[in-house]
A = this chain, B = another copy of it.
Amino acid sequence: MSMQQAEQDRIFLERAVELAHQNIKTVSGGPFGAVVVDEGRVLAEGANRVVADCDPTAHAEVVALRKAAALKGSPHLEGCTLYASCEPCPMCLASAYWAHIGRIVFAQSREDAEAMGFSDAELYEQVPLPPGKRSLRCERLELPRARDLITAWKDSEGKRPY
């Protein structure tokens, strides 16, 4: 990694951490901040809005990714870097994959999140379990009409795969 890249990482990650500190003061949600950077410039910033917006998905990373994608006019953010004050939870990590984020840099660990009362570490244990073994009951019920979706999607002429 070049000196310039290391210095940029430090600056953008410090900004994500600062957003987390600010968010504690505004009581909008958890103490988390995130920044999406595109070609060395901040494209979008986010802080946790779970409480303020009554939105369980409004983690800082998701807020920043959604803003960035809206600005880009595309659900994909190829080549962008996501800076997060804390290690992304499985929801935020998977969101970054779906957004085609190129790289993630974070400061606090999932254990730090746990120390602040958040269940990120536990979620990382739950997600890989077989659906029937999780604390959140997940059941499959097969339906013929669901099987038809595969053919219907394949035959759809106007579809825009992503």
Taking Cβ atoms with an 8 Å cutoff, the residues of A that contact B are 9-10, 13-14, 17-18, 20-21, 24-25, 27, 29-31, 50-51, 53-59, 62, 65-66, 69-70, 72-77, 85-91, 93-109, 112, 115-117, 119, 123-124, 126-128, 131, 136-143, 145-150, 152-154, 156, 158-162
Contact = CB atoms under 8 A, between A and B. Distances in A.
A118 to B, nearest CB: 9
A94 B66 CA distance: 17
A117 to B, nearest CB: 6
Taken together, the copies of this chain in the complex come to 2
Contacts of A117: 153, 161
A105 B160 CA distance: 27
Contacts of A141: 9-10, 13, 105-107
A162 B56 CA distance: 9
Given A54-B73, A55-B75, A56-B76, 16 more contacts: A20-B149, A24-B152, A27-B159, A54-B72, A56-B65, A57-B65, A87-B138, A89-B94, A94-B123, A97-B136, A103-B138, A104-B139, A105-B139, A105-B141, A107-B142, A112-B149
Contacts of A55: 66, 69-70, 75
Contacts of A85: 146, 149
